[in-house]
Structure 1
Amino acid sequence: MPRIIVSVGGGHTTEIHRTVLHIQKALLEAFVDTAVVIADLDSTFKSDGERKYSDLDYDFEQILERVKGADVLQEWEVVLVGGRYALFDSRINKLANLKVFLDSDGDSRLIDLIQRRQLQLQGAEKLAVLIQEYLSGLRPEMHKYIEPTRAHADLIIPSHSETVGADILVDSIVKIVEESKGGGVAMHTPARLFPQLDFQAESLDLEKEQYYELS
């Protein structure tokens, strides 16, 4: 049976994991005969040694092995590859049927980072350490390694539009699965998104311009 690969990447604090969980839940409800599994790239973070703030911090081989999956499937399967570097590896990109980038600006990422760690921060000294980590590590990592993967995306969605963005993703993936089950998509040749989108509702035209852009 076919395996459909969807990669969801993006910057720090863009709620990639939450978005992937939302997609998984919606797909399981839409297709009761389809397995929807998550391959979390961020879970492969190499905690031993000094953080490199680059692709060297992650184990792409582990995710690639899961995505390629030499086993014979007994049912339809959707694999959701999630993580900041989900669109980084060219081998995974070649296998993906849909590649998504959750976008955000630098100010928003820093503000979200501070808000998420505010319970751990006590005093100006710890806040200064966090800001220094952002300036010397996270921001350069974003510009040098993560932001360039945006060019590989079929779909780019501002991370602040969580509900609409996730719903657009679900609709797009549902269409890919439906066409695959109907034999419309060759699984060994991943299709780009834009030939498959079919906005039948006029109300989506405004949302299309406001919330996402096609590469």
Structure 2
Amino acid sequence: MPRVIVSVGGGHITEIHRTVLQIQKALLEAFVDTAVVIADLDDTVTSKERNYSDSDYNFEQILARVKNAEALEQWEVVLVCGRYALFDSRINELAQLKVFLDSDGDRRLIDLIQRFQVQSSEQLADLIQEYLSGLRPEMQKYIEPTRAHADLIIPSNGDSVGAAIVVDSIVKIVEDSKGGAQSGATRLYPQLDFQAESLDIEKEQYQDLS
């Protein structure tokens, strides 16, 4: 049975994992005979000392997961997630859909401060120092360039519309494949459509790259 591979990446504090969990839940409800597996790049980190680069992650481990050629008893959707989900060209080549959750630098810094519930000026100074010396350069040099590989670029604004659009796209891919598509990855475009009325209302907020 075939597998569908979807990569979801983006900047720091863009709720990548929450979005992927929303996608997984919706797909399991939509396709009862489909396994939805999460391949999380954060699970491949072994060192406690961060380099703020791609060297922090084991892409070979994720690649082995998505290329697993063992016979499957049911359909499988593999959701590759993490800030560097769109970084590796080999994984990009295998993915039928690549999504980038977008957010500007000011928003990421504000969300970072709120996430860590900063209580003192010392904590704030340490967090800003980490942002300026590690997170911001990492974003500019390694993560932001992966935006160019995305099929969908979705603003990370905390609502569920982005996840719904991704689910709608994956449902289309799976339905087309189950309807007789041949083996091999097929690109999303120009197949993407927004059939749900609620998505039609919101889709103007989002950008797509063909």
TM-score by length of 2: 0.94
Does 1:143 find its partner at 2:140?
Answer: yes
Counterpart in the other structure of 2:208? 213
Counterpart in the other structure of 1:7? 7
Answer yes or no: is the 8 Å Cα contact 2:152–2:208 preserved in 1: yes
Does 1:171 find its partner at 2:168?
Answer: yes
Counterparts of 1:199 and 1:10 in 2: how far apart (Å)?
22
Aligned to 1:91, the other structure's residue is in SS state helix
Counterparts of 1:155 and 1:80 in 2: how far apart (Å)?
15
Does 1:114 find its partner at 2:109?
Answer: no
Counterparts of 2:103 and 2:8 in 1: how far apart (Å)?
14
Counterparts of 2:199 and 2:15 in 1: how far apart (Å)?
23
1:193 to 188, 197, 202: 188
Counterparts of 1:187 and 1:126 in 2: how far apart (Å)?
53
Counterpart in the other structure of 2:39? 39
Answer yes or no: is the 8 Å Cα contact 1:164–1:211 preserved in 2: no
Matched to 2:61, the amino acid is Q
Deviations 1:161-202 (A, max 9, x none): 531111111111001000011123x442x2222211123467
Aligned to 1:127, the other structure's residue is in SS state helix
1:160 to 152, 157, 162: 157
Counterparts of 1:117 and 1:203 in 2: how far apart (Å)?
34
What is the aligned-residue identity percentage? Answer: 79
Aligned pair count? 210
Aligned to 1:21, the other structure's residue is in SS state helix
Aligned to 2:100, the other structure's residue is in SS state strand
Answer yes or no: is the 8 Å Cα contact 1:14–1:103 preserved in 2: yes
Counterparts of 2:130 and 2:104 in 1: how far apart (Å)?
17
Matched to 1:117, the amino acid is F
Is there any run of 5+ residues in structure 1 with no aligned partner, and where? none
Deviations 1:145-171 (A, max 9, x none): 000000000000001153111111111
Q: Give the C-alpha shift of residue 46 in structure 1.
A: 2.8
* Range with bigger deviation, 162-171 or 205-214: 205-214
Does 1:131 find its partner at 2:128?
Answer: yes
Counterparts of 1:78 and 1:42 in 2: how far apart (Å)?
19
Counterparts of 2:47 and 2:111 in 1: how far apart (Å)?
23
Counterpart in the other structure of 2:54? 55
